[in-house]
Amino acid sequence: MWRSLASNMLTILSVLLFLLAGLILWGKSQYVAEGPLETAICLQVERGSNMTRVSRALEEQGAVTSGTIFRLGADYTEKSGSLKAGSFLVREGTSMEGIVDQITRGGASTCGTEILYRVGVTRTIVEVRELNPATLTFEEKAEFNIADEEAPEIYEEKRAERDTRYRLSLAEGVTSWQVVEALKSMDVLSGDVPNRPPEGMLAPDSYEISPGTARQAILAQMQEKQQLRINATWESRQEGLPLDSPEEMLILASIIEKETGVPEERGQVASVFVNRLNQGMRLQTDPTVIYGVTKGEGVLGRGLRQSELRRITPWNTYVIDGLPPTPIANPGLASLQAAVAPAETDYVFFVADGSGGHAFAETLEEHNRNVAKWRQIEADRQNSGN
């Protein structure tokens, strides 16, 4: 009898162990399998929260099939104690394993509110925007000019939220003075700027920032990125260019940047200046004259006067030969690349064509016709009041 009972107990135990092993394997497969989400969501993890609360929120939003398996998986992988506060974008089909990895890895929030500081040539705009997880696009909630408009209430509200992200976007063609002044106006940053960075040495790009970031640290990051771009671009330069150094490349790139806002034209504009340098012609480009007037501090805000076109400054390429002594702005990567790989043309002239772009010419006669067309366009616009 005892032998039969022991045998039955062993059988039952074996079955239980088999079922337990199967349950563990099933739970593991559920943990790593594609999740049930059909549309991305923003998962808010509050400071001081725990895996139990997070698992309940995920169940309510239909992101996991089982909160229990989610918690057990986090415990088994020893990640339960590494939960990070923030707002996380959980994409459709993300597994429980993937979600645990997201909310324990740390780093900047990937969803929710973003405050974007756009440093442009004429002004610095602040945008408060929210990421729509369904479309993965930002929806603007507020916008204001940081220099002369009062910050809206939502800006202050979002500044107080811990998971708000901050980004700084630097436009191509801004001057170093404009960048420094913009950084000074951003109350999210800290510290002084004892010295203005050299013109041309700040990389136009997008930068992640956080409250309390030192202004000088951001400028150092911009300078490091620009130096890397300069080094790489100079190494890739074409043979036979009338440029003797990376510094001259940077100067030419800054002129290209200021001369056209049409990306497809950069190579042609570069070819005009390279052809002029090769032929010993003066560059005769208005942006250099403007820089001689403003020194990059602010926007001229009007047309150039004849006296300014004739005035001798180190940057006035109507009266000096070759390149000016310094860049006239901070060029982007595309303009740097255009400076060392210009289009192969015989163009030595260009003028606005009325469409936002330019008309290029190989001869003075052709150029004069293009100029006449442009003047007629200007006259027509004035007559129509546009």
Model confidence, pTM: 0.79
325 belongs to a structural domain: yes
Q: What is d(CA 73, CA 71) in angstroms, rounded to the nearest whole number?
A: 5
Full residue range of the structural domain in which residue 152 is found? 113-230
Final residue before a domain boundary, out of 213, 230, 247: 230
Let me know whether 260 and 338 are in one domain: yes
SS3 assignment for the chain? CHHHHHHHHHHHHHHHHHHHHHHHHHHHHHHHCCCCCCCCEEEEECCCCCHHHHHHHHHHCCCCCCHHHHHHHHHHCCCHHHCCCEEEEECCCCCHHHHHHHHHHCCCCCCCEEEEEEECCCCEEEEEEEEECCCCEEEEEEEEECCCCCCCHHHHHHHCCCCCEEEEEECCCCCHHHHHHHHHHCCCCECCCCCCCCCCCCCCCEEEECCCCEHHHHHHHHHHHHHHHHHHHHHCCCCCCCCCCHHHHHHHHHHHHHHCCCHHHHHHHHHHHHHHHHHCCCCCCHHHHHHHHHCCCCCCCCCCCHHHHHCCCCCCCCCCCCCCCCCCCCCCHHHHHHHHCCCCCCCCEEEECCCCCEEEECCHHHHHHHHHHHHHHHHHHHHHCC
pLDDT at site 340: 97
At 62 the pLDDT is 84
Q: Do 263 and 371 share a structural domain?
A: yes
**Domain end marker among 230, 257, 276:** 230
User: Tell me: the pLDDT tens digits for 201-244?
Assistant: 999 999 999 899 999 999 999 999 999 999 999 999 999 999 99
Q: Domain check: are 205 and 245 in the same one?
A: no
User: What confidence score (pLDDT) does residue 45 get?
Assistant: 81
In this structure, the answer to whether residues 293 and 307 fall within a common structural domain is: yes
Domains in the chain: how many in total? 3
Nearest to 255 by CA among 169, 346, 350, 178: 350
Per the domain annotation, does 18 fall within a domain? no
**What values do phi and psi take at 50, rounded to 5?**
-145, 175
Q: How confident is the prediction for the chain on average, in pLDDT?
A: 86
* Mode of pairing for the β-strands spanning 113-119 and 358-361: unpaired
- pLDDT for residue 145 is more than 80: yes
Window from 93-107, 155-169, 201-215, 281-295 with minimum mean pLDDT: 93-107
- Same domain as 224, residue 258: no
Looking at the structure, do residues 94 and 154 belong to the same domain, yes or no? no
Please report, for the domain that includes residue 79, its CATH number: 3.30.1490.480
- Look at residue 216 and tell me if it is in a domain: yes
pLDDT digits (tens, 9 = 90+) for 80-135: 788 887 778 788 888 888 888 877 886 666 777 889 999 999 999 999 998 777 77
Q: Is 73 exposed, middle or buried (0-12, 13-18, 19+ CB in 10 A)?
A: buried
Q: Phi and psi dihedrals of 145, rounded to 5?
A: -85, 120
